[in-house]
């Protein structure tokens, strides 16, 4: 089976200037390579500062990678602009309260990717918007609302609808569950799993709760200081961790659960 996403030697480093002449290169993540099949979920875990968020941002094009290629269906996306990229790969941000424009109606927020990337007429767009809203468990009427009128769980649903509305192949979710409380978190997880089953979308989840990761992901990448230290099927990696970092992460969270 051909992987829908294949990442080859992708890396990102920043140059930091100290004074006039001295420079220091800071590596966000070293060259990483991995593949993802259609309809599968890949989890990226690691400590904070391990480069997992930067990797997610580089995949969606928020930051431009220093080197390497991102191929979706065999087409290299690294040199494409946002317009060509966003129909294939979409991003959901960590905090739903800051990722929706407080001055725009939900309908307008959802319509803007359609307006920019499709040739649909006004009515067709309205239909797509209300379909997307219903798909994530909201009502058509929510299109008239402003973000301040919604709860944070509903906002995250809107963010998911925004990602889904262009019917992408891959959705990158950057710690989407971190800011939600437990009951809303499980609703969103179930919603993501439903959507994945219906549309056969691949997910890349940046997460730190290993319990959730075990529940939803097929494969897992463990990152440490910009390097992939462990990569494989989730069950194998979590049941039989090889690297000390993975062992430490597991131990840390087990201690949390035991309390």
Partner 1 sequence: MANHNVFREDHIRSPLAHSWFLYQQNTIGMVALWALIFILILTVIGPWIAPYPMDHKDVSALLKAPSWVEHGEVHFFLGTDDLGRDLLSQIIYGAQLTFGGAFLTVFLALVIGSVIGIIGGMSSGMQASVLHHFLDTLLSIPSLLLAIIIISVLGPGYFNTLLAVFLALLPLFTRAVYRAVHDELNKEYIIALRLDGATPLRILRYGILPNIVETFVSQTTRALTSAILDITALGFLGLGAQRPLPEWGTMLSDTMELVFLAPWTVTLPGLAILITILIINIVGEGLRQAILKGMD
Nearer to partner 1, 93 or 203 (CB): 93
Residue choice 12, 40, 52, 90 for contact with partner 1 (CB under 8 A):
90
# chain residues binding partner 1, by CB under 8 A: 32
Q: Which of residues 93-152 bind partner 1 (CB under 8 A)?
A: 93-95, 98-105, 108, 112-113, 116-117, 144-146, 148-149
Positions in 70-89 near partner 1 (CB under 8 A) = 81-83, 85-86
- Site for partner 1 contains 235 (CB under 8 A): no
Closest distance to partner 1 from the beta carbon of 1 (Å): 28
**Of the two residues 159 and 222, which places its CB atom closer to partner 1 in the complex?**
159
Name the residue nearer to partner 1 (CB basis): 87 or 193: 87
- C-alpha closest to that of 86 among 43, 118, 130, 40: 118
- Work out how close the CB of 234 gets to partner 1 at its nearest, in angstroms, rounded to a whole number: 28
- Alpha-carbon dihedral 49, 50, 54, 59, rounded to 10 degrees: -160
Q: How far is the CB of 116 from partner 1 (least distance, A)?
A: 5
Q: How far is the CB of 68 from partner 1 (least distance, A)?
A: 20
Binding site for partner 1 (CB under 8 A): 60-62, 81-83, 85-86, 90-91, 93-95, 98-105, 108, 112-113, 116-117, 144-146, 148-149, 162
């Amino acid at each position: 089976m051909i992987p829908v996403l294949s990442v080859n030697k992708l890396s990102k480093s920043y140059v930091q200037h100290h004074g006039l002449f001295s420079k220091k290169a800071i590596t966000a993540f070293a060259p990483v390579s991995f593949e993802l099949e259609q309809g599968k979920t890949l989890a990226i875990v690691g400590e904070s500062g391990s480069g997992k968020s930067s990797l997610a941002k580089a995949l969606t094009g928020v930051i431009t990678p220093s080197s390497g290629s991102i191929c979706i269906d065999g087409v290299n996306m690294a040199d494409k602009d946002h317009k060509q990229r966003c129909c294939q790969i979409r991003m959901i941000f960590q905090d739903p309260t800051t990722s929706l424009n407080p001055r725009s109606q939900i309908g307008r927020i959802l319509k803007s990717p359609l307006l920019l990337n499709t040739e649909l007429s006004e009515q067709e767009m309205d239909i797509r918007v209300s379909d997307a809203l219903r798909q994530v468990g909201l009502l058509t009427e929510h299109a008239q609302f402003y973000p301040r009128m919604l709860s944070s769980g509903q906002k995250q649903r809107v963010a998911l609808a925004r990602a889904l509305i262009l019917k992408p192949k891959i959705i990158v979710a950057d710690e989407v569950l971190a800011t939600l409380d437990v009951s809303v978190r499980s609703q969103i997880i179930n919603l993501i799993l439903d959507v994945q089953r219906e549309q056969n979308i691949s997910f890349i989840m940046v997460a730190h709760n290993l319990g959730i990761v075990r529940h939803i992901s097929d494969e897992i990448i463990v990152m440490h200081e910009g390097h992939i230290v462990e990569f494989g099927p989730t069950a194998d990696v979590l049941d039989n961790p090889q690297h000390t970092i993975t062992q430490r992460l597991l131990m840390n969270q087990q201690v949390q659960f035991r309390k």
